[in-house]
Structure 1
Amino acid sequence: MRTTRRAAALLAAGALTVLTALPASAHDELTAVTPEPGSALTTAPQELELTFSGQVMDIGHQVQVTDSEGRSVTDGPLETVGNRIVQPLADAGPEDETYQVVWRVVSSDGHPIEGTFAYEVGTGAEPSPGVSPTAEVPADQAQNAADRATSGAAPLWLVAVGGAAVALAVLGAVSIASRRRRRG
């Protein structure tokens, strides 16, 4: 009987420890892009697709696709489909063009992630003087969205209370099982 109580107490303490530990969060990663970075296409694509390792938050997405003159070739709002973001693109321009892509999204852990790459259509084109091939996406909107997302996280005290409740439930179940064995 004493052994059962000790086992129940150890089980409850272990459950409390495991359940109150804060989970480690890892940023999502870009796992696939269509068209692929550095690719040379024969015709301009109708859309740009970014695929991530997890479902990114549906806030603060930004994707800029510009030609060698620095003109935007995006056409319409971004679409979020599971772990993919799709940016429709305008009709094809010149046959030979280099497109720069700058993207920024909010990872499922609430932190912004970003990147840049280029792809070519035909033989590509050199950027015009004064056009930066890796223009920065304004960060304030995505950062503000990330701040709002993480401010909704459960406070530590709530996690601790939840863990304690589960530990007490486990302790109660072990106690009831112990009593039933003694009766039987």
Structure 2
Amino acid sequence: MISTRNTTRSTALAALFAALLLAVGAATAVSLASASTAHAHDQLISTDPADGAALEAPPEQLTLTFSGEIQDIGTTVELVDAEGAEHAVDLAADRGDLAITPQAALPAGDYTLSWRVTSSDGHPIEGTVDNGGAVEFSVAAGGDDAASASEATASEVPAEASESALNPDDPATSGPVELELDDSNAWVAPLVIIGLAVAAIAAVVVVIAKVRNQQK
């Protein structure tokens, strides 16, 4: 009888240990999956001209380069001058590059380029003045005045500015952020964990009940 009781108790303890391992393993897997998804969105990694660049002549084209291939949906760009006037541009996406071509030569002055794209995982990301992801640059000579300027290219920037490419992993660097989305599946992970925990407890209760019945 003693041997039988020891065996049933060992079985109960083994079942309890296995149930706890199952619950912990499931919770860890769900947490890792959620973390992986949260860091999967693309980021802006460089701009031409660089943020803060001082150009001698107006740029014929501006380029935003992202860490992944952006989708050809939901892309919007706003190029405004210091007075808030918007300048029309043409857009062309090629894998991770977004080419922005002003429809007319930009006059001399300061400019701000705000943008919004859809990353390769389907989530929109944006760069604005508010989140620090907008690109700002200045043009010394615009329109006909640019012809008399020294032989400067549209992408010419000071050496210091050219080394300041945006680094999304550097907390000291302001950069684009993900849009806050209403994730309708956010409740799935907690429910999975709760369900597994309930199942584990139920299994332990069943085993304990069987052990008590065998001991009577």
Query: Could you state the TM-score of these two structures normalised by the residue count of structure 1?
Result: 0.50
Of structures 1 and 2, the larger Rg is shown by: 2
The TM-score with structure 2 as length reference comes to 0.44
